Amino acid sequence: MNKSTPKKGQRKTRGKMLGALYFIVIAGFVAFVAGLGLVFYFVHDIPPFTMADQLPRETSFVLDSSGATVAKLHQEQNRVTVPLATMPEHLVEGVIVMEDIRFYSHFGISPRDLVRAAYLTLTGQDFQGASTITQQVARNRILRDQRVTIKRKIQEIYVALRIEREYSKTEILETYLNEVFLGGSAHGFQAAAQQYFGKNVSDLTLGESAMLVGILPSPNAWRPRTADMAPARRRQAIVLEQMVRHGRITDAERDAAIDAPITLVVPRTQPGETNLAMYFVDHVITQVEDILMQQRGITRAQASAAIHTEGLSIKTTLNLDLQRAAERAALEIFTQENGILQRMQREARTDRNPEIRRFAAEATNFTWANAHGLQPQVSMLVIEPSTGFIRAWLGGRDMIGRFGRDRVAGEQNQPGSAIKPLLVYGPALAAGRITAASTIDDAPVSYPTGNPNDPYFVPRNFDFNTFWGHTSIRKGLARSYNVMAVKLLQSFGVRNSMDWAKRLGITSFVERGPENDMGLATALGGMTNGMTLLEQVRAYNVFNNRGVLVEPSAILSIATRGGSVIYTAPAPAQQIVTTEQVAWLMTDILRGTVENQGGVMGTGHGGLRGGAMGRFAGQAAGKTGTTDGNADAFFLGYTPDLTAGVWIGHDDLTTGVPRFENNAPQLRTSVPPLAPPPANETPEARLQRILRSDPYVRGGFPSTGNNAVGSGFATAIFGRMMSIFTAGTPTAELPNFSAEWYEEYGVFGPPRRLGFVRQRFCSVSGKYPSELCPSEDVSYDWFIAGTEPRPDNPCDMHVVVRICTESGQLATPFCPPASVVTQVRVRRAPYAVLLDRSGNQLHPVDRANQVPFDDCTVHSPPGGTGGN
């Protein structure tokens, strides 16, 4: 036997080993191929990508006209991207030390960490992520999948390797620092710095940087809180210690950072503070959605998503200083307890209702039911006259959720007397039918309605049973006399007036149908649907803008996160509605609402008392508007720089504040008694029962002086806002409507280029005074050239008449000469018979000076039957 020949047993053993090795190789190859196939299968699920394609969801900004931030718009993530160069070095070093110490040396993954993670996983220990910064970027930017699975880990490694090949370390690190989650809604260190410390990331101290880096593993659990800083402080100390260990900072720097105080931002939720500009932001969002839908051909939902994720910069027309002044004025003007108005206006007709009288005597304080939210509510809109730029937008005294009630542009309310300059006086003035000196007899009148159930429309003034007689347009508008407005609308024509008012941009008129606005009650604001505050401000601005209509606008421009402007607002469209002369004269008349002109105090005068009146004398004009029971109260006012509207009212009128019937109070002959009060009735229930029983109870608006006028509070808000906003401006520097001095008249007046004439007139007839007009009836006013009273058409209402002193009637040839006196009286047309509750006929207050309607009934001709 050959010694070199292996033994049979040895050959069998070697064969088994070769077979086993062969099997291992084959199995390994199969496993490799299978694993490689699995890898390719997992990788195949990743869609084609580039870093630029996978832009992060970034916060958009709403800016005011100066570039200051008004609001940040984002979905669940608040992210603000800043360059790496603006981030402090100690922040970057802290992140490297804690998150990826070999960041600058690896190629996207750390093999050693991967092996360690695999070993721990295979041995049944906790699964370890072993993610480098690059892998985290791959997961957050490309995959957007936070699940910890084998598939996701393989995909993450593949994407990380690609990112490392295609992008620099600086680009990768910058992306990570701008996108990593840091608690709350903050994504990225810039958003976190603002969220926690109220500063930019570039201004972070070492201690603040270390605290933010420390919370990275569990941001919501460890984030700094005013109530408990201990977890964040512990994490800060760990980061600082690791930075010392790796030579990034010294021991002294660590100790100083630990000892340095940390000041957190206090959320703006303190009593008295607001975020009311969010109503304006809601309006802006809607406008931007419309722009993006038109530009991109997308749906509103897609446009909304773009606004909240694309990092847009939306520059608006808002003036934050004026916005703050408006917010502060609205908050300060109310007597508040938990934000609810607590005083009641005691104007109920209580003379025949002992229950109401007893309640009024006992209840010195009460709180409105708040079932429908904070009441009364308030809204305000302020625009720039020449451009229509919205400078302040106040949507309410609260902010409940996004896209709540739109009290400025979306809700219609009865305008009350605020409609008079727009529908009644403006059209007649523009047509040359009236001047500021024209007179109307404020006397009882009734108009048939054609409705058998309500046959007559009887307009009354705010003080109900008072009629003021012959009154000039200037005074009647300042005092807001209803009867004059109805008479003027009737004579000029509802259709003529409405056609002119629509040129002011009013679109709310209902002109057809069983319920419409073609009746005379519209002169008092009795509209079918009402008007929005935006509509009214736009219309009033025509008077403040030299007769030119301009559409209010909110957006100046929209830019992408990269700074590319994708929208620039066009120049505001303008339309000439009336002449500059008519606009100035209407403004001068409306100054009487807030000023004391010749002893005539307008309806808004009380609201601007307390110092504001003198400060704004000559440079404020406007009109009040109030509906019955003060359900709605308005002030539409302006200065040369601003046009504003203020509304106060209730969102839900079931709170006991009824509206007008046709916006004109109806004479009530009796007050029904209340039912016996239920046992154990609460004061709140008692109040509501009383309010429901008598519509003359005016709940909600406290008195602004001797006259309890709800619109006085709206006026006061306007005055307070202007006082706050102009506090730093000397009174002498405030612009004035009548800034030119007329030496020949000794007064300030309109710009001379407008060609106005100042002329005498009779305040009874509105014509040139005759020799019969007493001096107390002679006044001066401004007239558009060609419309002034002329001597060749003198007053024909002051006449000489013979009066019988015994009857007080016109003397006849049969009156004894001793009983006859010659007097100058005022000729007046007959007026309607209207009775008060006691059955007495109502007459104008100047009745004593009028020419009697009848001849003497005391002295009869010989053989007659008259006399005593």
Over residues 691-740, the pLDDT tens digits come to 444 433 333 333 333 333 456 677 788 888 888 887 767 766 677 787 78
Q: In this structure, what are the phi and psi dihedrals at residue 627, rounded to the nearest 5 degrees?
A: -100, 165
Query: What are the tokens at 742?
Result: 């007329």
Tell me what pLDDT residue 603 has.
64
Min mean pLDDT across 201-210, 220-229, 340-349 is at 340-349
**Whether 154 and 229 share a structural domain:** yes
pLDDT of 583-624, one tens digit each? 999 999 999 888 766 655 556 555 555 444 456 666 889 998
Note whether residue 326 is domain-resident.
no
pLDDT of 240-290, one tens digit each? 999 999 999 999 999 999 999 999 885 543 333 345 588 899 899 889 999
Residue 566 has pLDDT above 80, yes or no: yes
Note whether residue 122 is domain-resident.
yes
Helices (H) and strands (E) in the chain, counts: 24, 28
The structural domain count of the chain equals: 4
Kindly state the helix (H) or strand (E) to which residue 305 belongs, with its residue range: helix 300-309
Residue 41 has pLDDT above 80, yes or no: no
Spatial contact of 765 and 797, defined as CB atoms under 8 Å apart: yes
Residue type at 544 in one-letter notation: N
654: pLDDT confidence band, cut at 50, 70 and 90? very low
Give the rounded distance of the alpha carbon of 171 from its chain centre: 43
Residue 397 has pLDDT above 80, yes or no: no
b/e per residue, 722-732, with b = 16+ CB within 10 A?
bbbbbeeeeee
Q: Which residues contact 467 (CB under 8 A, 6 or more apart)?
A: 442, 443, 444, 461, 483, 842, 843, 844, 845
Q: Are strands 778-784 and 756-762 parallel, antiparallel or unpaired?
A: antiparallel
Q: Which long-range contacts (CB under 8 A, 24 or more apart) does 259-266 make?
A: 260/205, 260/206, 260/207, 262/197, 262/207, 262/208, 262/211, 262/224, 262/229, 262/232, 263/197, 264/196, 264/197, 264/224, 264/225, 264/226, 265/194, 265/195, 265/196, 265/197, 265/198, 266/226
Note whether residue 652 is domain-resident.
no
Residue 392 has pLDDT above 70, yes or no: yes
User: How far apart, in whole angstroms, are the C-alpha atoms of residue 468 and residue 199?
Assistant: 63
Q: ∠ CA(576), CA(416), CA(649), 5° rounding?
A: 115
pLDDT of 72-102, one tens digit each? 887 666 677 889 999 999 999 999 999 989 8
**Burial of residue 839, with CB atoms counted within 10 A of its CB: 0-12 exposed, 13-18 middle, 19 or more buried:** exposed
Note whether residue 287 is domain-resident.
no
**Burial of residue 193, with CB atoms counted within 10 A of its CB: 0-12 exposed, 13-18 middle, 19 or more buried:** buried
**Whether 35 and 140 share a structural domain:** no
Query: What would you report as the CA-atom Rg of the chain, rounded to the nearest whole angstrom?
Result: 40
Note whether residue 819 is domain-resident.
yes
Spatial contact of 559 and 548, defined as CB atoms under 8 Å apart: no
pTM, to two decimals: 0.72
Tell me what pLDDT residue 126 has.
52
Q: Which residues contact 709 (CB under 8 A, 6 or more apart)?
A: 462, 603, 606, 607, 624, 626, 633
**Whether 254 and 156 share a structural domain:** yes
Question: In this predicted model, which residue has the larger pLDDT, 113 or 175?
Answer: 175
Compute the average pLDDT of residues 819-824.
96
Q: Are strands 747-749 and 820-826 parallel, antiparallel or unpaired?
A: unpaired
The domain in which residue 836 lies consists of 798-849
Question: In this predicted model, which residue has the larger pLDDT, 633 or 868?
Answer: 633
Query: What are the tokens at 569?
Result: 């607002």
Compute the average pLDDT of residues 289-299.
90
**Whether 114 and 187 share a structural domain:** yes
Q: Around Cβ 469, how many Cβ atoms within 10 Å? A: 21
- Measure the CA dihedral 655/661/663/669, to 10°: -100
Give the E-state strand segments of 502-562 in sequence order: 548-550, 555-559
Give the E-state strand segments of 593-717 in sequence order: 596-597, 600-601, 621-626, 632-638, 643-649
Spatial contact of 500 and 426, defined as CB atoms under 8 Å apart: yes
Tell me what pLDDT residue 25 has.
63
Angle between helices 150-166 and 8-44 (to 10 degrees): 70
Q: Which of 342, 283, 325, 316 is nearest to 646 (CA)?
A: 325
Residue 128 has pLDDT above 60, yes or no: no
Q: Which residues contact 804 (CB under 8 A, 6 or more apart)?
A: 810, 811, 812, 815, 819, 820, 856, 858, 859
SS3 355: helix
pLDDT of 460-518, one tens digit each? 988 778 999 999 999 999 999 999 999 999 999 999 999 999 999 999 999 998 889 99
User: How far apart, in whole angstroms, are the C-alpha atoms of residue 338 and residue 378?
Assistant: 16
Question: Which of 259, 288, 309 is the last residue before a domain boundary?
Answer: 259
The 3-state DSSP composition of the chain as helix, strand, coil percent (nearest 5) reads 40, 15, 45
Q: Write the CATH number for 162.
A: 1.10.3810.10
- Give the largest Cα separation in the chain, rounded: 187
Half-sphere exposure of 477 (CA within 13 A, CB side): 31
Instruction: Dihedral sign for Cα 510, 515, 518, 520, please.
Output: negative
Mean pLDDT of the residues in the chain = 79
Min mean pLDDT across 213-222, 357-366, 588-597, 817-826 is at 357-366
Tell me what pLDDT residue 353 has.
46
Residue type at 178 in one-letter notation: N
Q: Which of 630, 681, 634 is nearest to 659 (CA)?
A: 630
User: How far apart, in whole angstroms, are the C-alpha atoms of residue 382 and residue 390?
Assistant: 6
pLDDT of 109-124, one tens digit each? 767 766 666 665 555 5
Peptide bond into 385 cis (omega under 30): no
Note whether residue 697 is domain-resident.
no
Tell me what pLDDT residue 376 has.
75
DSSP state of 773: S
Tell me what pLDDT residue 531 has.
94
215: pLDDT confidence band, cut at 50, 70 and 90? very high
Residue type at 449 in one-letter notation: T
Compute the average pLDDT of residues 786-792.
96
Note whether residue 760 is domain-resident.
yes
Tell me what pLDDT residue 352 has.
41
Residue 752 has pLDDT above 60, yes or no: yes
Residue 145 has pLDDT above 60, yes or no: no
Distances (CA, A) of 591 to 76, 543, 705, 780: 50, 12, 20, 16
User: How far apart, in whole angstroms, are the C-alpha atoms of residue 860 and residue 415?
Assistant: 54
**Whether 89 and 231 share a structural domain:** yes
Question: In this predicted model, which residue has the larger pLDDT, 337 or 132?
Answer: 132
Question: Which of 201, 232, 259 is the last residue before a domain boundary?
Answer: 259
Note whether residue 175 is domain-resident.
yes
**Whether 103 and 225 share a structural domain:** yes
Spatial contact of 417 and 624, defined as CB atoms under 8 Å apart: yes
Question: Which of 32, 48, 64 is the last residue before a domain boundary?
Answer: 48
**Whether 179 and 98 share a structural domain:** yes
User: How far apart, in whole angstroms, are the C-alpha atoms of residue 346 and residue 363?
Assistant: 11
Compute the average pLDDT of residues 440-451.
91
Give the rounded distance of the alpha carbon of 367 from its chain centre: 25
**Whether 95 and 203 share a structural domain:** yes
Give the E-state strand segments of 574-687 in sequence order: 574-576, 596-597, 600-601, 621-626, 632-638, 643-649
**Whether 214 and 248 share a structural domain:** yes
Tell me what pLDDT residue 403 has.
53
**Whether 127 and 199 share a structural domain:** yes
User: How far apart, in whole angstroms, are the C-alpha atoms of residue 661 and residue 458?
Assistant: 12
**Whether 209 and 177 share a structural domain:** yes
Q: Which long-range contacts (CB under 8 A, 24 or more apart) does 265-268 make?
A: 265/194, 265/195, 265/196, 265/197, 265/198, 266/226
SS3 177: helix
**Whether 95 and 230 share a structural domain:** yes
Compute the average pLDDT of residues 614-643.
81
